[in-house]
Structure 1
Amino acid sequence: MPIPSGGPAVDRTLLRDDVYRRLRDAIVDGTFAPGEQLKDGDLAEWLGVSRTPVREALLRLGESGLVVALPGRSTTVSTIDVQAVSDARDVVATMHELAVRGVAGHLNPEDIQRMRDANDRFATAVASGDADAALTADEDLHRIPVTALGNRALEATLERFDPLIRRAERTRFKADGQSSVARHNDLITLIESGDAPGAAALAFDLWHTLTTDETPK
């Protein structure tokens, strides 16, 4: 797939993290397909930035396993590796388990309502077959306990490994995800009631049971 034409350029004053997120999201949503070569010059022109933040972003994406860099040769989008996804899933599941255990019974009513609103958006997106909207809503829902906990090491771990999960997840989003709506509701109820062990166990299960050939969580 060629580099997309048009689209808004990244503001030159934004931090290098914004370049990283733009490239990460383009890989997760399939704009850049597995095996596609990524040239820093082309990417810099597309985003309207210099090559330096693009090169830094590609290095970070390599650490996450989303690209494969061959020194002096090329950088390509990685294929979806079942073992890599399984390994990332185990780490991500544990991080979300810790986050939910830490905030159960302590989230304010506004955060609980934001989780319910995100699940409503998730349900609507799944019903309409909108994979991008479903993934966004799902990410918004799960991010709330993580942000509320405020553990920066945990957040950094998720930042590194979550994109592998999201990309694999998106490839299966034509499958039925309605059961996930009910499980999200159960998770929110457990968090709100302060059942830390129950909420943590469900959060872990939601992520740990995810594989590349199952329905989304």
Structure 2
Amino acid sequence: MALSGGPLERRSMSDEAYARLQDAIITGELRPGERLRDYELAERLGTSKTPIRHALDRLADHGLVEMQRNRYTRVAPIDLDQVRNAVDLFGDIWIGSVRHVMPLIQDDDVAYLTELADAMSSSAKARDVAGFSIALRGIATGFARIEGNDARAVIIERLGPQIRRFSQHARDAVDWEAVDGFVGALRAAMIERDAVKTRAVLVSFFDEVLPSTIDRAEEQDLTRSELD
């Protein structure tokens, strides 16, 4: 395992360790099933074992790491049922925001959301799975922030890593034409400030486009651990 970057800065070592390890898991640098030893990670990241242990606890809480007391810690396998549940909850959270946000949305809010949609569109056209996943989370969080609902934003942030990791492994299962259509329809609905259209676009994406991607990934065995 070769984690990128130098020693961690002392001013938030647990956060830095979490971010570095999360990125390594999402990108596949740390593969599903790979053992994680806190003393090895501490040496590679230039810190003590305590920040590493805190980071591993957070990663376990987000479903990216499995911890067996007195046995081992390893990168969690990609569980497609968990991914489906995460996608469903992500969609429910976002769609719930629409009902509250759209009737009161202001010009600067529309401009902000449209800018995020443009970033999502650019990533989709470039077939950039990582960029699209980050932009998708960003615009969903944007709705929650405009609503003033920090609880929704926290849940979206919590679900993001698991969905992003799946997307990286299942990139060959993505129907980019459907994704392009989703982004365009979402952008148009937001500009029109039409809550009904916005909700319909999101429902289609989370009930049809993303589940189909998961099904194709399962059929093609794209998320099987290389270490099984």
TM over 0.5: yes
Tell me the equivalent position of 1:187: 186
Q: How does 1:120-159 map to 2 (within 5 A)?
A: 120-126=121-127, 130-159=128-157
Matching of residue 198 in structure 1 with residue 200 in structure 2: no
Q: What is the Cα deviation at residue 33 of structure 1?
A: 0.6
C-alpha offsets along residues 119-155 of structure 1, whole Å, 9 cap, x if unaligned?
33213321xxx43334334434443323333322112
**Residue identity opposite 1:112 in structure 2:** L
Tell me the equivalent position of 2:226: none
Gaps of 5+ in 2: 218-228
Q: Alpha carbons of 1:55 and 1:116: their partners in 2 closer, same or farther (altered >3 Å)?
A: same
Matching of residue 10 in structure 1 with residue 11 in structure 2: no
Contact 2:8 2:17 in 1 (8 A): yes
Q: 2 CA distance for matches of 1:26 and 1:162?
A: 15
**Residue identity opposite 1:179 in structure 2:** A
Q: How many residues align?
A: 210
C-alpha offsets along residues 129-186 of structure 1, whole Å, 9 cap, x if unaligned?
x433343344344433233333221122122222222222222212431321221121
Contact 2:116 2:135 in 1 (8 A): no
Q: 2 CA distance for matches of 1:100 and 1:46?
A: 44
Q: 2 CA distance for matches of 1:9 and 1:100?
A: 42
Matching of residue 178 in structure 1 with residue 180 in structure 2: no
Q: Alpha carbons of 1:155 and 1:92: their partners in 2 closer, same or farther (altered >3 Å)?
A: same
**Residue identity opposite 1:111 in structure 2:** Y
TM-score norm. by structure 1 comes to 0.83
Q: What is the Cα deviation at residue 6 of structure 1?
A: 4.9
Q: What is the Cα deviation at residue 41 of structure 1?
A: 1.9
* Aligned pair partner of 1:76 in 64, 74, 77: 74
Q: 1 CA distance for matches of 2:6 and 2:114?
A: 32
TM-score norm. by structure 2 comes to 0.80
Tell me the equivalent position of 1:213: 215
Q: What is the Cα deviation at residue 30 of structure 1?
A: 0.9
Question: How much identity, in percent, do the aligned residues show?
Answer: 30
Tell me the equivalent position of 1:104: 102
Q: 2 CA distance for matches of 1:135 and 1:14?
A: 26
Contact 1:99 1:145 in 2 (8 A): yes
Q: Which moved more, 1:152-161 or 1:205-214?
A: 205-214
Q: 1 CA distance for matches of 2:120 and 2:16?
A: 26
**Residue identity opposite 2:193 in structure 1:** G
Q: What is the Cα deviation at residue 94 of structure 1?
A: 0.6
Q: Which moved more, 1:51-60 or 1:141-150?
A: 141-150
Structure with the largest fraction of helix? 2
